Each structure stands twice: as C-alpha cells, then as structure tokens.
Amino acid sequence: MKIDVTKHLTMGAKRTLKAFRVAMFELLREKDFDKITVNDICQKGEYPRATFYNYFDDKLDLLKYLWSYIAKDILSQLPDDKQNDANLIKIFNLLVQFFHENTALLANIKQSNGADSHLWHNLAGYLKHEANRIVYQNCSIDSKPSIPAKLLSRFYSDLIIGMLEWCLFEEPNIQLKIADEYLLKLLHNDL
Amino acid sequence: MKIDVTKHLTMGAKRTLKAFRVAMFELLREKDFDKITVNDICQKGEYPRATFYNYFDDKLDLLKYLWSYIAKDILSQLPDDKQNDANLIKIFNLLVQFFHENTALLANIKQSNGADSHLWHNLAGYLKHEANRIVYQNCSIDSKPSIPAKLLSRFYSDLIIGMLEWCLFEEPNIQLKIADEYLLKLLHNDL
DNA sequence: AGATATTAGCTTATATTTAGACAATATTTA
DNA sequence: TAAATATTGTCTAAATATAAGCTAATATCT
C-alpha cells in the first residue's frame, strides 16, 4: 500500500479506495483472481491506471486491503458490550452469514484453493486477526487470571476460524444451529 | 453549468457528474426538490461542496442537467432504424415505462405540481426536446414533401408528450394497450 | 519458434479536487 | 420579533487525479 489508511483521508481518497475495493470485490465474483488484470480493476472502478498505482503496489496489495476491510466490516456489526459465549457465537455467525451472502466469492476462493490455497489462507488470516482483536478487547474486561487474556482470546479466535473453515469446506450444507451447538461444545470442552 | 458536457470529459469529470446525478435522482425520491440542499446532494454523492460548485451554478442547474441526461438515456434505447408508427409508439412506451419504474419520483413531481408545476414542465421540456430530435432524425429519411419534416416531427413529439402527460396526470390507471390505441387513433386522425 | 498483443509498473507536467473559512441570505425556533 | 441556526456561493493553497507514453515482462496466436 502506498498510503496509510489508518491516517486521516480526504473524501477523494476514501472514494477512490472504495471504488477499487468494490471493483475487486465484484471481479472476484466474476473470475479467478489470477485472471483479473489491473486494467479490469481500473475499468470497473472507473479510475485510470495511474491512480491505481497511487494507492497500491499491485493487485495482490489491493486484495489484502480488501480482505482487511471486509474483516473489519463484518465484525463491526457486533455490539461492543461485555464478553460472553453468546458473543463468540455471534462472531461465528456473522462470518458464516457473510459467506452465505457471497456464494460466488466463496466458490471462487474455493476453486483457487486447489493450487496453493492462497486466497483462503490470506482472507482467513485477516478474519482471524480481526476476530482476535475483538475477542481480546472484550476478554480483557472480565479478565480471568487463571489464563493470560491474550492466550485465551487467541484460543477463541482460532476456534472460531477453524470452525468456520470446517463449515465452509468440509460440511457446506450443515445447519447453522448444529454448527453453533458444536462450537459451544468445543468451547465448554463438553465432548 | 460551469463545464461543457458535450466536450470531451476526463474520467474524473464523468465520475463526478454521475455521482451528483445519481445523488439528485435518489434525493428526488425521498423529498421535495425545494427541501433538498446542496449539502444533502454532496453528502449523498460523497463529494465536497467545492466540487459541486466546480460543476453547477446551483441545485436547479443540476436538476436541468439530470433531466436532459434522463431524456437522452431513456430514448437511447430506441433502435435507430427508419421511422414508422411503431417507433412513435415505442418512444411513448419507453417514457411511460420510465415513470412506471420510478413511481416515487413521479409522485414527487406531481406533488410539486401544485405550486407552480415547475418540476414537470421542466422535465417535460427536456423529454419533448429529445423525442423531437429522435423523431426528426428518422423523419427526414422517408421525407414526405407535403409537410416540412421539422413541423411534422414537432407535431409527433408534441403528441407523444401530450399523451404522456394525459396518461400520467389524468388517467394514471389506464392500460398501456388502450393508451397505445388512443395514440394511434390520434396519429391517423381516426376519431 | 517467432510475431503480435497485452499487461505491469512507473514517470511527469498539467488539471482537478479538497478542506475549511468566509460573508451574505434565508430559515427555524423561542 | 429577535436570536440562533442553516444554507448559499466564493475563495485559496495544498492534495490528488489525469493523460499520455515508456520499457520490460508475459501471454497468445500462427
């Protein structure tokens, strides 16, 4: 990334980022990441190439930005009240819902999974990072001294993303209710 | 208008015009034209006020641009083959269809009609102009020497817009098939 | 294999957009 | 009605976008 998206951005910069984000998101429904060219992105986003390179090093750079944005965006729907099991389930369900709503994207990601599975692992990394951040924020409130909070939140987010991966790739037709039950059992070591 | 939209426009200019056009179009579904502020437009379009004034004198200026764009856009769906009655009907039907698909806009226009009816007359003017342009283009091909082509095309476009106005304001529940029949009768002086 | 076309990055001078402040009106509220 | 608030339209220097065009790498075709 050629700019720092955490700093204050002008309206124009936000607009431009959004346009490229949306363009990439739409293109990922339509074709393989490898088949997407910078020209495709610019055409879809209605920006010239020069502008693309003002913001991103290359299309992979944009992809990473998109993943991190999506991760934040999905989980921003969480109420930021105190931590409990219900919230972990909520995080899991938000993630499941996202892929349920974006089946074309998921299909594309799955397909690319054959080669080196870089699309999924890339995205999953950002999802896990964001989930971890949110779990940790809430975790630290009701800090249980028996386990370091960082370790605990990492355990939780790993569990959530693992569960997500299993649902999406191994049991795509599983009922969400059942999945929630499994997740709760794993959380409570109730096997 | 501060710029000439008939000249070549940069990608950015096209993007900006589109954003303001869409913003105004959406706002006209939501509230009265008189209640729409430049700030509303800028917020919806995600552009700063300064940019708005780079393009338009004021919101009425934008409205006129929107009407002319819509008029062109609706009628651009016409096949540009030779003129006949079917094409006149087609023009009429495209216009009816547009308002059928944009009932909120129409309701808003109708409501403003109480005061000084400036919204409808403004829009109708642009629709008539564009219809006339298209009819004339095709008219001149099978030129009938008994009547000047310009007069004839003006007669046709006046008839179409008059018919449209009657359908929208006087008989909003009329069947399109019936309206088409009326139009044909008027065309053929078959009364 | 060799010809042709597309793409990736990058550069630069020019054009456009931007935030924020401003005074002048208009509108709302008390 | 008077004061508070919102809106308009303009202005600037700084930030950004832009077209055009370049080379090298890669893909596609014959």
Closest nucleotide to the alpha carbon of B41, via C1': D7
Q: What is the mean pLDDT of chain A?
A: 91
- Is the separation of the CB atoms in B186 and B163 below 8 Å? yes
B14 lies within 8 A of chain A by CB:
yes
- Copy the structure tokens of residue A104: 């074309």
**CA–CA separation, A45 and A14 (whole Å):** 13
A39 touches strand C (CB under 7 A): yes
Residue with tokens 């002008």: A10
**CA–CA separation, A92 and A126 (whole Å):** 14
> Which secondary-structure segment (H or E) carries B44?
helix B38-45
B15 lies within 8 A of chain A by CB:
yes
CA A159 to C1' D12, whole Å: 55
**CA–CA separation, B82 and A138 (whole Å):** 70
Task: Decide which of A73 and B191 is more confident.
Answer: A73
Residue of B nearest to A51 (CA): B12
- Neighbouring C-alpha atoms within 13 Å toward the C-beta of B82: 3
Q: How many CB pairs under 8 A join A and B?
A: 12
The radius of gyration of chain A's CA atoms, rounded to the nearest angstrom, is 18
pLDDT of residue B26: 98
- Read off the amino acid at residue A1: M
Please list, residue by residue across B115-149, b when 16 or more beta carbons sit within 10 angstroms of its beta carbon and e when fewer do. eeeebbebbbebbbbbbbebbbebbeeeeeeeeeb
Q: Which of A146, A156, A143 is nearest to A183 (CA)?
A: A156
CA A12 to C1' D14, whole Å: 14
A101 CA: distance to closest CA in chain B (Å): 26
Q: Locate all alpha helices (DSSP H) within A34-148, ordered by sequence.
A: 38-45, 49-55, 59-75, 85-101, 103-112, 118-139
Which segment of A64-68, A174-178, B48-52, B134-138 scores lowest on mean pLDDT? Answer: B134-138
A44 touches strand C (CB under 7 A): no
Q: Which nucleotides of C are covered by protein (CB under 7 A)?
A: 6-12, 15-21
Helix (H, G, I), strand (E, B) or coil at B118: helix
pLDDT of residue B31: 93
> Which residues are within 8 A (CB) of B71 and not within 5 positions of it... i.e. 6 or more apart?
B123, B126, B127, B129, B130, B131
**CA–CA separation, A134 and A87 (whole Å):** 10
**CA–CA separation, A164 and A168 (whole Å):** 6
B49 lies within 8 A of chain A by CB:
no
pLDDT of residue A90: 95
pLDDT at A121 over 80: yes
Residue of A nearest to B43 (CA): A11
Query: Residue A83 — very low, low, confident or very high, per pLDDT cuts 50/70/90?
Result: low
- Copy the structure tokens of residue A62: 């944009």
pLDDT of residue B137: 86
B159 CA: distance to closest CA in chain A (Å): 40
Closest nucleotide to the alpha carbon of A48, via C1': D18
Residue of B nearest to A45 (CA): B15
Q: Quick one: which residue's CA is nearest to D21's C1'?
A: A50
- Is the separation of the CB atoms in A75 and A131 below 8 Å? yes
Question: What are the pLDDT digits (tens) for A129-173?
Answer: 999 999 988 876 555 568 888 888 999 999 999 999 999 999 999
- Is the separation of the CB atoms in B94 and B75 below 8 Å? yes
Query: Residue A115 — very low, low, confident or very high, per pLDDT cuts 50/70/90?
Result: very low
pLDDT of residue A82: 66
B12 CA: distance to closest CA in chain A (Å): 7
DSSP for residue B166: I
pTM, full prediction: 0.91
pLDDT of residue A146: 82
- Is the separation of the CB atoms in A125 and A63 below 8 Å? no
- Name every chain A residue with its beta carbon within 8 A of the beta carbon of B14: 46
- Copy the structure tokens of residue A139: 């975790």
pLDDT of residue B115: 45
**CA–CA separation, B87 and B134 (whole Å):** 10
Question: What are the pLDDT digits (tens) for B48-78?
Answer: 999 999 999 999 999 999 999 999 999 999 9
Question: What are the pLDDT digits (tens) for B20-43?
Answer: 999 999 999 999 999 999 999 999
pLDDT of residue A189: 83
Question: What are the pLDDT digits (tens) for B77-120?
Answer: 998 776 678 889 999 999 999 999 999 999 999 887 544 458 99
Helix (H, G, I), strand (E, B) or coil at B109: helix
B191 touches strand C (CB under 7 A): no
Rounded to the nearest 10°, the torsion over CA A19, A25, A26, A28 is: 140
- Copy the structure tokens of residue A125: 């990394």
Question: What are the pLDDT digits (tens) for B111-124?
Answer: 875 444 589 999 99
Q: What is the mean pLDDT of chain B?
A: 91
A47–B11 CB contact, under 8 Å: yes
Residue of B nearest to A47 (CA): B11
DSSP for residue A166: I
Average of per-residue pLDDT across A63-91: 89
A53 touches strand C (CB under 7 A): yes
- Read off the amino acid at residue A173: N
pLDDT at A27 over 90: yes
